[in-house]
Amino acid sequence: MSKVYFIKNESLNDDQLGSDALKLLKTVVAASGHTFEKEVPLKVHFGEKGNTTFLSAKCYDPTIQYLKEMGVSPSYIETNVLYRGSRTTTDKHLETAKAHGFSQIPIIIADGDLGTEYVEVEIPGEYIKKCKIGKGYGRFNQFIVMSHFKGHIQAGFGGALKQLAMGFAARGGKLEQHAGIAPVVSAKKCVSCGLCIEKCDFDAIEMINTAVIDPDKCVGCAGCIAVCPEGAIRNSWSGSNFLEKLSEYALGAAKDKDIIYISFISNVTEECDCTGIHMKPIADNIGVLASKDPVALDTACLDLLQQRSRKKLFENGRVSLKHAEKIGLGTMAYELVALD
């Protein structure tokens, strides 16, 4: 059974959330006997341009200050995204980070300007044998993975596992996880607005009275699903095993690394921080949690959210958790330790 530490915080006060994250970090460090190396990157998500609910830079400030006081050099680390947007290339990604207030420490974009720089990490996965992990991660042994816990169109929810799986993977690794996902358009619901065609970076959609997706060109990025105003596009999951592949990539990202995970259940939106629009939160703010076990942490976040909202929100994400447990990334059995 893994320990997950929790501080209740129903506010949206970033300074307070950041202080709670630091308190939890210190607790995990003390409980596990963790000692920091000289350089420790913080896994971050800078938020797509137009998104308003990503974790604010202020949430990281107390942790950054603490690491510096401990003689540790912190940096932000991230990879470029698969689809067209404000974080597709390193230049644009750095611009977006700066515009969103992330300028306190150096930023490492780990997979190079085109997302093609990676190291291969071997794992005993059922679907993946070699993970393509952003090359820049290779030179570090330790990370602090900070996650905004919220919904995700394909994964069910985005938390620590997703930060590892998609956030550490180079472009080829992201594609490998998405492979086999084939979205389909409901001709009945489609109003032929063309927004999905504009969004698709892979020219996989054409208008033949209604939108039609070419499965041979589609890479399964889900961009079209996110932008369709009619909810006319749905994932067809058959044969994709996306949720299991996500767990296997998380295993590859965490292999031989010493990681502390901190997750914030606040501003919980239906879709993830890659969505470049303002979204209304769909659940109450709950607080901040931390653990050295990403599976236990995500399970605790999901349980707390479902208990509080009395709905089975993001339930399909449990497929990833069960598979992650099966392949040895962590355990879904946890003890929740509440701090004041």
- Residue ranges binding ligand SF4 (CB under 6 A): 183, 185, 190-196, 199-200, 202, 204-205, 210-211, 213, 218-224, 228, 230, 232-233
How many Å is the Cα radius of gyration of the chain? 19
- Which is closer to ligand SF4, CB of 14 or CB of 230? 230
CB nearer ligand SF4, residue 223 or residue 317: 223
Phi, psi at 161, each rounded to 5°: -60, -40
* Nearer to ligand SF4 (CB atom), residue 85 or residue 220: 220
Instruction: Select 64 or 233, whichever has its Cβ closest to ligand SF4.
Output: 233
Cβ partners under 8 Å of residue 210, min gap 6: 185, 187, 190, 192, 232
Minimum Å gap between C-beta 71 and ligand SF4 is 45
- CB closer to ligand SF4 out of 97 and 222: 222
Neighbours of 49 (CB within 10 A): 15
> Residue ranges of the alpha helices (H) in 47-187?
61-69, 90-99, 160-168, 171-178
Alpha carbon distance 289, 282 (integer Å): 19
Provide, rounded to whole angstroms, the least separation between the CB of residue 245 and ligand SF4. Answer: 16
CB 325 within 8 A of CB 331: yes
How many angstroms from the chain centroid is the CA of residue 95?
20
Q: How far is the CB of 154 from ligand SF4 (least distance, A)?
A: 9
Shortest reach from residue 160's CB to ligand SF4, in Å: 25
Shortest separation between residue 162's beta carbon and ligand SF4, angstroms:
17
